[in-house]
Amino acid sequence: MADKEYLLGNRARELLKYTNQATKVVTDDVSQKDVRVILQKIAALDDIREVKSICQTTIGQLDRKEKDGFTKAMYRCYGEDMRLIAKGIVRDIHAANGKMFATEYNERLRLIGKVLDGCSLLLEYIQIVQDMGVISLKKSEIWTKKVLDVKYMTASWKKNDGARANKLRSDEEAKQDARQVEVVKTAIRQYNAEKKVQQT
């Protein structure tokens, strides 16, 4: 793997790891264990004022609880797709790099194009979930930078490989043209030779 593609592969893996971490499901539900602890505290109190105080403190803590993250519904709607897109980016970079450029440049360029499409779609999803308040602005900025790192490196890869592919195509077309010219010349020589034989 060339150095740039190796670095791109590493960045894509970082993006996949971050995407998996950023799309973890969080819930506002209080667990049975939490409820049990709270009820035990309340049951141990003698004064109704202390009961009220514990209840108010608990409600305050629940209200302040971090809300940033995917609910189960949001994960099914967006998070699951985001993980699949990030996996696809890693897979397509690996597959493109495995293609022999001299003979499979069209397939390689197609896979590189899929990576760019995946990056664009993932950026769109990040913007949507940030607009909906599923993730914070800070998380969206970190995530976006990771996607853009992969996207810009992939765009550079496509530009370089596209230029190389155009040269290979031009060389192949020149060879085909030369072969066609040679076929025509050979046909003319044969015709002239046959005509000469007929005249003698």
Q: What is the CATH number of the domain that holds 193?
A: 1.20.1440.60
Domain count, the chain: 2
Identify the domain containing residue 50 by its residue range: 29-64
187: which 2 tokens? Answer: 């046909």
**Residue 149 and residue 74 in one domain:** yes
Query: Do 45 and 108 fall into the same domain?
Result: no
Q: What's the pLDDT score for residue 39?
A: 75
Residues 33 and 110 in one domain: no
Residues 147 and 49 in one domain: no
**Separation in Å, CA 117 to CA 25, 76, 144, 174:** 26, 21, 15, 33
76 and 16 in a common domain: yes
Q: Which amino acid is at 2?
A: A
pLDDT of residue 14: 97
Do 85 and 169 belong to one domain? yes
153 near 112, Cβ under 8 Å? no
Residues 6+ apart with CB under 8 A from 59: none
Residues 24, 51, single domain; the answer is no
130 and 173 in one domain?
yes
**Per-residue model confidence (pLDDT) at position 28:** 57
Query: One digit per residue, pLDDT tens: the chain, 200 residues?
Result: 456 667 999 999 999 999 999 999 886 555 667 667 777 777 777 778 877 777 777 776 666 555 678 988 999 999 999 999 999 999 999 999 888 877 888 898 999 999 999 999 999 999 999 999 999 999 999 999 999 999 999 999 999 887 776 666 666 766 776 677 777 778 777 877 777 777 76
pLDDT of residue 44: 79
Instruction: Examine the domain organization and report whether 122 and 171 are in the same domain.
Output: yes
| Residue 131 sits in the same domain as residue 156 | yes
Q: Do residue 20 and residue 53 come from a single domain?
A: no
Which pLDDT belongs to residue 180? 77
Which residue among 37, 64, 91 closes a domain? 64
Rounded-to-integer distance, Cα 18 and Cα 12, Å: 10
Residues 6+ apart with CB under 8 A from 155: 116
Quote the crossing angle between the two packed helices 80-97 and 101-131, to the nearest 10°.
Answer: 160
